[in-house]
Structure 1
Amino acid sequence: MTGTVVVGYIPTPQGIAAFERAKEEALLRECRLVVVNTGQNGDFATPSFATAEDIDAIGRELRDAGLAHEVLQATSGLGAAEEILRVAAAESAELIVIGIRHRTPVGKLFLGSTSQQVLLDAPCAVLAVKARTTA
């Protein structure tokens, strides 16, 4: 097994879509999957910081799929983009998978964008995934 796929995960439709696609990519590439979950700007009480049950379920799903994996809940206080980029560099990742959501231009201007920072600063290819919408 060579290579690593890194995925930024939060328990939202976008995060779940990114996780599912990253799992598919790791299986296709026959490589290791590293799941990165962070709090929002170092706050581990936010909904973006996955529960222990979420982390256990991810681990079970990846074990059942036969994937070599690691699930990291970062507590460094770095922002989500910085943590994903740090892990990708440390792991010499061949791919980063992130979930994206639609944001208005004004929202991007004032709030910044984790996905934009990852796309611009990544040391490897980045796959941006949108959650599926139901009609």
Structure 2
Amino acid sequence: MTVLVAYVARPEGRAALDKGIDIATRNNERLVVVNAGPGGRNEDPGLVDGYEVERVEERLAKLPVQAEFKHFVRGKSAVEEIDAMVGPLEVSVLVIGLRKRSPVGKLLMGSVAQELLLTVDCPVLAVKAP
């Protein structure tokens, strides 16, 4: 089984990573951390840069469980990439981070978290940043 973490380089993404590490370590499960977005004209501010990838990979390398970081920028949305991983990885839980948004912000920007909750076929744990 695999704990899958949807990661963005923001406080809510770091909270999701912390919780994912905790669950995977406690249950001795594989941990996969994914950051994804379409790229190109549709550049997503949630996509991480090279420094952030290194930082997360270094942290994962120190864990007592198998862990890896996947970074996708190949024209698909984060939801499409994550949903495609759930079955093949036998995901026991998807961990996502939430941030507070105004109702207008939700209307104009949509919500990746909401779309994940409605799309993926596995349990989803939503955590808030401290």
- TM-score calculated relative to the size of structure 1: 0.86
1:33 aligns with 31
1:115 aligns with 113
1:26-64 Cα deviation digits (max 9, x unpaired)? 11111011111123x434865422122221221221221
Q: What amino acid maps onto 1:94 in structure 2?
A: S
Give 1:24 shift.
0.5
CA distance in 2, matches of 1:63, 1:111: 35
CA distance in 2, matches of 1:11, 1:124: 24
Q: What amino acid maps onto 1:102 in structure 2?
A: K
1:64 aligns with 62
Task: Give the root-mean-square deviation of aligned CA atoms.
Answer: 1.7
Contact 2:96 2:126 in 1 (8 A): yes
1:54 aligns with 52
Q: Show structure 2 runs of 5+ residues with no match.
A: none
- TM-score calculated relative to the size of structure 2: 0.89
Give 1:12 shift.
0.5
Aligned residues: 129
1:91 aligns with 89
Contact 2:60 2:68 in 1 (8 A): no
2:75 aligns with 77
Q: Which of 113-122 and 53-62 deviates more?
A: 53-62
Q: Show structure 1 runs of 5+ residues with no match.
A: none
Q: Which of 62-71 and 28-37 deviates more?
A: 62-71
Q: What amino acid maps onto 1:98 in structure 2?
A: I
2:39 aligns with 42
CA distance in 2, matches of 1:29, 1:8: 19
TM-aligned CA distance change 1:46 to 1:109, over 3 Å: closer
CA distance in 2, matches of 1:53, 1:106: 33
CA distance in 2, matches of 1:10, 1:66: 23
